[in-house]
Amino acid sequence: MKVFGSSGVRGLANDELTPGFALQVATAAGDVFGADRVAVARDTRGTGEMFVDAVSSGLASVGADVDRLGIVPTPGLQAYCEREGVPGVVVTASHNPPAYNGIKLVGSDGTELTRDRLDTVEERLDSESTRADWHQVGTGRRVESARRHYREQLLAAVDREAIAGADLTVALDPGHGAGALTSPALFRELGCSVLSVNAQPDGRFPGRDPEPVAETLGDLRRLVETTHADLGVAHDGDADRAIFVDETGSVVEGDAALAALAAAELDAGDVVVSAVNASQRLVDVADAAGADLHLTAIGSTNLITAIRDLQADRYRVPIAGEGNGGIMFPDYRVSRDGAYTAARFCELLLDRSASEIAAAHGGYHNVRRKVGYDDEGERAAMLSAVGAFASSADAAVDTTDGYRLDYGDAWVLARPSGTEPVVRVYAEAREGDRAEDLAASMVDAIQSA
């Protein structure tokens, strides 16, 4: 079984994910890190302290001193790791409900571990770790400055004067997560007038679910509408994501925000990295810039691994991300960062409103279908039918994760679900009929199997 999914270890706290298992993971990770010192941070969840204690014990047992940063956004821990040159562990379940928790591992360069290093940690889980002698176990210390340093680094990396000069009112919804302790201060320091909702750190997430999606952002939308704010910003539990609300109170689709940020960032010859469900909006933006779109399997670990490989081959990858608000600017750091992404979005507001930005990348139609199967034989037959359909189609075919067919003006993707006995079909085009037709012909092909 894969212990590390596409976003680390995740599970129901004290049920699927126990302190004992967290200790095991941290011990194996500490062994693989081989570092004298490791940083540990968490989001606001009530089970966080318990897991931080377990993780710290595991790290100390293999001889690592532990810097306990307290409640810090995941990108804040990553900034600390990068600056100090130490690896790190974040206790967070990101956007999952309050009952969950999880563990993410970060290297001493500040980026999440890539697939092969996670595999090494997994292998180590099954073997004996090298425990330190009694007089060489690690010690712990509290570090209070990580949040301040995180803000300072971020302020130095954006166009602070221009943002301040735009006289923006920003409404923040950190969703009771770790961003509650950093984003309000940060946007004030950027010269914005700041309003906030759900901005008390609270691991029960009383105001809304940690996942920033249209259904959970009613409070933020009302706040923006009633106060005439220029922009609403919502984070997930560990604040590595940002979802925006425009000045009319409408949620900006994550794909439109990514496309707008990419349009501002991409030059000819650049590569933008996204997942196989990447929007046609991003395809169009990459085309217009003369940039290439590189697709990976869904999940940030896969994107990070691809960015690293492309950079090693000397490609410039100025932006990468998915439509869920998780966006990376690899020249800044190869990590998703909700506050940095929001600050960069503010830079776009100097000459346009948020609704104008959304409209420039809006008007696309998405269609989703699913086809159920009864057994493995039926599933295999369906996938080979998809393969035959793909090879006869007048489209560029990508088989990274299922089959994605890019027609230039539209795309269709068929991939088996990881959780249900269904093959999912997604299609997107500027014209609604075109998306419907593409999805229908893929479904027909699957059902003919």
Q: How far apart are CB 322 and Mg ion at their closest, in Å?
A: 11
Q: Determine whether 448 is an active site residue.
A: no
Q: Which stretch binds Mg ion (CB under 5 A): 18-26, 59-67, 86-94, 123-131?
A: 86-94
* Residue 94 binding Mg ion, by CB under 5 A: yes
Q: How far apart are CB 291 and Mg ion at their closest, in Å?
A: 26
Of 181 and 229, the one with the shorter C-beta distance to Mg ion is 181
Of 112 and 236, the one with the shorter C-beta distance to Mg ion is 236
Catalytic one among 94, 196, 274, 279?
A: 94
| Residue from the set 211, 238, 265, 398 that interacts with Mg ion by CB under 5 A | 238
Of 325 and 402, the one with the shorter C-beta distance to Mg ion is 325
Q: Which stretch binds Mg ion (CB under 5 A): 228-236, 282-290, 372-380, 410-418?
A: 228-236
* Residue 279 binding Mg ion, by CB under 5 A: no
Q: Which stretch binds Mg ion (CB under 5 A): 40-48, 116-124, 231-239, 386-394?
A: 231-239
Q: How far apart are CB 336 and Mg ion at their closest, in Å?
A: 7
**81-117: b or e for each residue (b if 16 or more CB lie within 10 Å)?**
bbebebbbbbbbbbbbebebbbbbbbbbebbbbbbeb
| Residue from the set 230, 240, 247, 401 that interacts with Mg ion by CB under 5 A | 240
Q: How far apart are CB 78 and Mg ion at their closest, in Å?
A: 12
Residue nearest Mg ion, Cβ-based = 94
Of 233 and 283, the one with the shorter C-beta distance to Mg ion is 233
Of 209 and 236, the one with the shorter C-beta distance to Mg ion is 236
Of 112 and 406, the one with the shorter C-beta distance to Mg ion is 112
Of 44 and 94, the one with the shorter C-beta distance to Mg ion is 94
Q: Which stretch binds Mg ion (CB under 5 A): 92-100, 144-152, 368-376, 377-385?
A: 92-100
Cα–Cα distance measured from residue 52 to residue 71, given in angstroms and rounded to the nearest whole number: 10
Site for Mg ion in 353-412 (CB under 5 A): none
What is the side-by-side strand order in the sheet with 403-406? 365-372, 422-429, 410-416, 403-406, 396-398
Q: Which stretch binds Mg ion (CB under 5 A): 87-95, 96-104, 198-206, 215-223?
A: 87-95
Token code pair at residue 152 = 């300072």
Q: How far apart are CB 17 and Mg ion at their closest, in Å?
A: 16
Cα–Cα distance measured from residue 377 to residue 383, given in angstroms and rounded to the nearest whole number: 10
Site for Mg ion in 421-440 (CB under 5 A): none
Q: Which stretch binds Mg ion (CB under 5 A): 75-83, 136-144, 240-248, 435-443?
A: 240-248
Cβ(362)–Cβ(253) below 8 Å: yes
Q: How far apart are CB 344 and Mg ion at their closest, in Å?
A: 17
Binding pattern for the stretch 242-261 against Mg ion, x by CB under 5 A and - elsewhere: --------------------
Size of the site for Mg ion (CB under 5 A): 4
Q: How far apart are CB 95 and Mg ion at their closest, in Å?
A: 6
* Residue 322 binding Mg ion, by CB under 5 A: no
Q: How far apart are CB 240 and Mg ion at their closest, in Å?
A: 4
- Helix/strand/coil (H/E/C) assignment for every residue in the chain: CCCCEECEEEEEECCCECHHHHHHHHHHHHHHHCCCEEEEEECCCCCHHHHHHHHHHHHHHCCCEEEEEEECCHHHHHHHHHHHCCCEEEECCCCCCCCEEEEEEECCCCCECCHHHHHHHHHHHCCCCCCCCHHHCCCEEECCCHHHHHHHHHHHHCCHHHHHHCCCEEEEECCCCHHHHCHHHHHHHCCCEEEECCCCCCCCCCCCCCCCCHHHCHHHHHHHHHHCCCEEEECCCCCCCCEEECCCCCECCHHHHHHHHHHHHCCCCCEEEEECCCCHHHHHHHHHHCCEEEEECCCHHHHHHHHHHHHHCCCCCCEEECCCCCEEECCCEEEECHHHHHHHHHHHCCCCCHHHHHHHCCCCEEEEEEEECCCHHHHHHHHHHHHHHHHHCCCEEECCCCEEEECCCEEEEEEECCCCCEEEEEEEECCHHHHHHHHHHHHHHHHCC
Of 175 and 402, the one with the shorter C-beta distance to Mg ion is 175
* Residue 236 binding Mg ion, by CB under 5 A: yes
Give the binding site for Mg ion (CB under 5 A): 94, 236, 238, 240
Catalytic residues: 94
